[in-house]
Amino acid sequence: MKILYICTHNRCRSILCEAITNASNGNIEARSAGSQPVGEVHPLSLKYLAERGFSTGGLQSQSWDEFEDYDADLVVTVCDSAAGESCPVYFGKSLKVHWGLEDPSKLEGSEQEKARPSTTPSILLKSV
């Protein structure tokens, strides 16, 4: 099964989902993309993943245009703004779902406060 996680900037939520899904046992391949990618993965996303033993190799902020030939079985939008956007026509055959997650890049406070149990990275990483 191929899963494509989409978030507007493809630097936090979709990246976390990609790495965690790819670490699962099973026949699942996950990728992530953004409608308006910023071009870099958020440093705290990489830090949280590495601290918990997830591979960060190959993670990158990239456009959904790069996945025209990916043929995803499932497209998951993980931010409200991406959910409201029109997906490219080449995702037409894919099942599309929305999973609204808080944007960890917009959290304020110390690094410890950003990693509190109720934040998106903590929730995602605790669930595995």
Given a contact cutoff of 8 angstroms between Cβ atoms, the answer to whether 59 and 41 are in contact is yes
Annotated active-site residue in 3, 4, 6, 7: 7
Is residue 12 among the annotated active site residues?
A: no
Given a contact cutoff of 8 angstroms between Cβ atoms, the answer to whether 30 and 57 are in contact is no
Annotated active-site residue in 28, 38, 87, 107: 87
Give the Cα separation of 110 and 3 in Å (integer). Answer: 33
> Taking Cα atoms as reference points, which of 13, 112, 16, 103 lies closest to residue 55?
16
Give the Cα separation of 22 and 5 in Å (integer). Answer: 12
Annotated active-site residue in 6, 33, 76, 79: 79
Is residue 17 among the annotated active site residues?
A: no
Catalytic residues: 7, 79, 87
